[in-house]
Amino acid sequence: MGCSASLPARNSGQLGALNSEGSAVSDSKNLRVKLVLLGDSGVGKSCIVLRFVRGQFDPTSKVTVGASFLSQTIALQDSTTVKFEIWDTAGQERYAALAPLYYRGAAVAVVVYDITSPESFSKAQYWVKELQKHGSPDIVLALVGNKADLHENRSVSSQDAIDYAEKNGMFFIETSAKTADNINQLFEEIAKRLPRPTSAS
């Protein structure tokens, strides 16, 4: 991280956390969940979110600045709804120090890499470690290998990713924001794994 880690944090002193009112839960039927996406710049975090929220894919690169906020509600089979409040963070190095602002209090962290880029897979592992150290103890972690449509250029094997995810108690999936492959599944699987409020209905 070099010096970047000291940049925004040092200036702003203690970083707060971006939480509206608690991180999850409204009632047992309607969950509200803070979700953060982390990962190297260019792996496709914003594309995944825009595919999920708006059903669109725009191939022109729009490097995220700071973080973008979007929300999307999905209905599950058991007639519960889950409202995801999504922080799509910037992967650029200078924002790394800012990440705690977005992942603190998050119920879900989605760590994304690009299956054609081993560096982005290492970066994903860096984020997993950071989340294990500083994230909420009961955070749901998902590891996502994006750009699955580029399989002919694959340089991170699925098996390596599966092994790593298993070792770290993460949910793993390969997606393509471009083809929409597994995008909804990703969020549905996350929703299923959320801790439910204990009050029986």
Ligand X SMILES: Nc1nc2c(ncn2[C@@H]2O[C@H](COP(=O)(O)OP(=O)(O)OP(=O)(O)O)[C@@H](O)[C@H]2O)c(=O)[nH]1
Q: How many CB atoms lie within 10 A of CB 186?
A: 22
> Which residue is associated with the tokens 């599944």?
185
Question: Contact 141/171 with Cβ under 8 angstroms?
Answer: yes
**Enclosing H/E stretch for 32:** strand 30-39
Q: Which does 145 bind (CB under 5 to 8 A by kind): ligand X, another protein, Mg ion, none?
A: none
Piece of the chain touching another protein by CB under 8 A; list 10-18, 148-156, 161-169, 184-192: 10-18
Does residue 7 touch another protein according to CB under 8 A? yes
Does 153 bind another protein (CB under 8 A)? Our answer is no
Q: Side chain identity at 18, as an amino acid letter?
A: L
Does position 151 interact with ligand X (CB under 6 A)? The reply is no
Residue 165 is classified by DSSP as H
Q: Whose Cβ is closer to ligand X: residue 32's or residue 123's? A: 123
Strands 108-114 and 30-39, sheet pairing: parallel
Question: Which of Mg ion, ligand X, another protein, none is residue 16 near (CB under 5 to 8 Å by kind)?
Answer: another protein
The continuous run of DSSP H or E covering 72 comes out as strand 67-75
Q: What angle do CA 9, 61, 10 make, to 5 degrees?
A: 5
**Among the listed residues 24, 47, 107, 144, the single contact to ligand X using CB under 6 A:** 47
Q: Which does 176 bind (CB under 5 to 8 A by kind): ligand X, another protein, Mg ion, none?
A: ligand X
Binder among 50, 109, 142, 148 for another protein (CB under 8 A)? 50
Strands 30-39 and 67-75: unpaired
Which residues here bind another protein, judged by CB under 8 A?
2-4, 6-8, 10-13, 15-20, 41, 46, 50, 60, 62-70, 88, 90, 92-95, 98, 101
